[in-house]
Structure 1
Amino acid sequence: MKPISTVMMAGRGDVDFLLETFATQMIARGYRVRGIVQVNTERRPDHACDMDVKVLPDGAVYRISQSLGAGARGCRLDPEALEMSVVEVEASLRDGADLVILNKFGKQEAEGRGFRDVLASAVAEGIPVLVGLNALNKDAFDDFAAGLAAECAPTLEALTHWAENAIRDRLRDAA
């Protein structure tokens, strides 16, 4: 089994909702889940949504979007807020983890920043990682993952099956 699983969905915010639901389910089942999930807050139709990330399992929430004003077309990501969430996730991994969830391998990760090092460290430690992915950054992710990732069907059942098997295999290999 590959140490990284990716999940892709076409609808805006669909992967975010799926990963948040999945993380909540895995935490409720007693797994030590680390990483981040994204929660989007819709605004008026003429404004883009607010993007927040929640550090798992019960860490801070960071607003990673900047309000650039009506009609703005530039990147809304607040890289400083994203890096603050990276630092918190890195610290949470010191307490141990069964699973790491990263809402997205995005532009920051494609350029060598963001959660790229967290993802690499988790894999090096043998911790299964689930990553949200979009078509825009798929090639960069494939180059980074170097064959260590497989795509998972975008359903709670498929994610749960993959995660529980990956966690079980890790525990078996450690014994």
Structure 2
Amino acid sequence: MTIAYIRSLQRGGTNELFDLFAHHLLAQGFRVVGTIQTNTPRPKSHKCDMDVRILPDGDIIRISQDLGPNSRGCHLDPSALEEAVMQTTARLDQADLLILNKFGKQEAQGRGFRDVIAQAVMQDIPVLVGVNDLNLADFLTFCGDEAVELPTDREHLFKWGDALKLPQNS
């Protein structure tokens, strides 16, 4: 089982790195599935719009909801997240690698992409996931001793990808 994670100290810290990595592997013919997140600032708000692109060529799904300018707390749209989970799950059987932008609060509570990660592990599909410090303990409990932390830089991530020796799509 191969589960690698990158810790992010800032909001959206892995988004661009994972996007670059996914494009690199897809261009080589690897079958990469999962999600890449994009955060778009909202004018006059401390919140952002969160969209996930379903890899390799799926929909872009807005997983945030606008709860108004005075809202506090989480603005995740659980039904949109579940749609992203369903679309990712439907592609998993064709995967060489699963990339998930975040093991977040939903996954820490046993929802979200948690079952997709478990299914990938059961199918011997390597997993790459972003984790913030808030959810790190839950992630490590979920993965046991199997998870490997990677440094947050392109060079180490690409070396890890090369070491996987993923089968290329023919």
Both proteins in one fold, TM over 0.5: yes
Match of 1:145 in 2: 143
Q: 1:141-163: per-residue Cα shift (whole Å, max 9, x none)?
A: 01000111010011122111112
Q: Letter of the aligned partner of 2:159 in structure 1?
A: H
Shift of 1:9: 2.3
Q: Within 5 A, what are the aligned runs for 1:76-87?
A: 76-87=75-86
Report whether the alignment pairs 1:13 with 2:12. Answer: yes
Q: 1:64 matched to which residue of 2?
A: 63
How many corresponding residue pairs?
Answer: 167
Q: 1:100 maps to which residue? A: 98
1:60-99 deviation per Cα after TM superposition (whole angstroms, max 9, x unaligned): 11100010111311210001000001111111112x2111
Decide whether the 8 Å contact of 1:128 with 1:163 is kept in 2.
Answer: no
Q: Could you tell me which residue of structure 2 aligns to residue 128 of structure 1?
A: 126
Cα offset for 1:45?
Answer: 4.5
Counterpart residue type for residue 135 of structure 1:
D
Corresponding residue of 1:42: 41
User: Any conservation in 2 of the 1:99–1:163 contact (CA below 8 Å)?
Assistant: no
Segments of 5+ residues of structure 2 without an aligned counterpart are none
Once superposed, which parts of structure 1, at least 4 consecutive aligned residues long, lie more than 3 Å away? none
Could you tell me how far 1:46 is from its partner in structure 2?
Answer: 2.7
Answer yes or no: is the 8 Å Cα contact 2:8–2:133 preserved in 1. Answer: no
Identity value in percent:
49
Answer whether contact 1:32 1:99 (CA < 8 A) is retained. yes
After superposing the two structures, state which structure 1 stretch, 64-73 or 42-51, moved more. Answer: 42-51
Q: Which amino acid aligns with 1:164?
A: D
Task: Describe the SS at the equivalent of 1:130.
Answer: strand
Q: How far is the alpha carbon of 1:5 from its aligned partner?
A: 0.3
Cα offset for 1:26? Answer: 1.4
Gaps of 5+ in 1: none
Give the aligned CA root-mean-square deviation in angstroms: 1.4
Question: Which of 114, 117, 125 is 1:116 aligned to?
Answer: 114
Asked if 1 retains the 8 angstrom alpha-carbon contact of 2:41 and 2:48, the reply is yes
Q: Which has the higher contact order (CA 8 A, sep 6+)?
A: 2
Q: CA separation in 1, counterparts of 2:117 and 2:66?
A: 28
TM-score (norm 2): 0.93
Q: Does structure 1 conserve the Cα–Cα contact (< 8 Å) formed by 2:103 and 2:135?
A: yes
8 A Cα contact 2:54 2:84, kept in partner: yes
AA of the residue aligned to 1:19: F
